[in-house]
Copies of this chain bind each other. A is one copy, B any other.
Amino acid sequence: MKATARYVACCDLGGTKALVGLVDETGRMLARERYLLPGQREPGQLVAELASRLTQLVRQAGLTWSQVIGLGCSIAAVLDAERRLIQFAPNLIGSAQNVPFKDLLQQALGRPVWLEMDAQVTALGEAWQGAGAGAGELVYVVVGTGIGAGLLIQGQIYRGWSGTAGEFGHTTLDPRGPRCNCGNTGCLEALASGPAIAQQAQLALDQGRTSLIRELQPPLTAEMVMQAARLGDPLAGEIIQQTAEYLGTALANLLNLLNPEVIVLGGGVIQGGADLLLEPIRQTAMRRCGSWIDWRKTRIVAATLGEDAGLLGAARLVWMTSPN
């Protein structure tokens, strides 16, 4: 007689909120919950709350932990190469370093844990159930408050040598460009992230440009600039066009170097502005790729899983290494 159906638990720990879920082998989400993570906390406290939320979810689904293979966990943090320790997660746990997060979770749950950085997990989710379904060579690019990437090679997460691959937001796109939070100048993140869009609009207003945006209540956001662009505001239109140009050029660099099958774009700026950004990004990327080779077949698409990409990717982490 075949063993009873088995499930995996998954969680997605962001800067300000957490999602927990239960997912089967086909990607079906049996249960799902969202809770807020306001402010920083002790790592032990984070683990205890997560374990309690997960245990409640398992119980509500009519299951016991013995029917759950393990937990896949996506986290907004820099991890060590072996994915056991948190090196850097200021929004979640403040200045604590070398936190043995995977071990703490395993002890609290009594089940094995898979821990990965968020962009990489999202890439896995979109390659499993989303915009890149079935692709082996996939790059997921998140454009939001920051810009980052998760790389899949032959369907597996590519972490790099010491585990830090994917810092796409800090590639220099214009050596003479504006200063970035990282200390350098002209990083993609300083040119095309949500805050960069708002900052360019503010700068233009300060210089006396007329625009619909001037009538809005500060502080300016990228969302306001996109709204004004939709209403035909010339300044907002220029800024959005320039943003697409930066993103498209950076994607052309990716296409030239890595030749992926799919580039999936996600994050707040894309979710809020795909109608304005996606086509100009594609056009710039294709124009900037060498024309003598057929890179043009690579698809550049918007993410389709939204908030669930992290949960599904985290579940996939477990299923990939644990055949049922």
Contacts and interface: CB of A to CB of B under 8 A. Distances in A.
A184 to B, nearest CB: 5
A259 B289 CA distance: 23
A158 B137 CA distance: 10
Contacts of A298: 161
Count of chain copies: 2
Interface residues of A, number: 51
Interface string A142-161: 00000001010100001111
Nearest to A182: B290
Contacts of A65: none
A162 interface: yes
Contact of A291 (B161, B168, B183, B245): B183
A316 to B, nearest CB: 20
A123 B270 CA distance: 37
Contacts of A295: 162, 164
A150 to B, nearest CB: 11
B175 A260 contact: no
A172 B259 contact: no
Given A166-B257, A167-B293, A184-B288, 10 more contacts: A78-B292, A88-B292, A137-B160, A161-B260, A161-B261, A164-B295, A165-B258, A170-B289, A172-B173, A175-B249
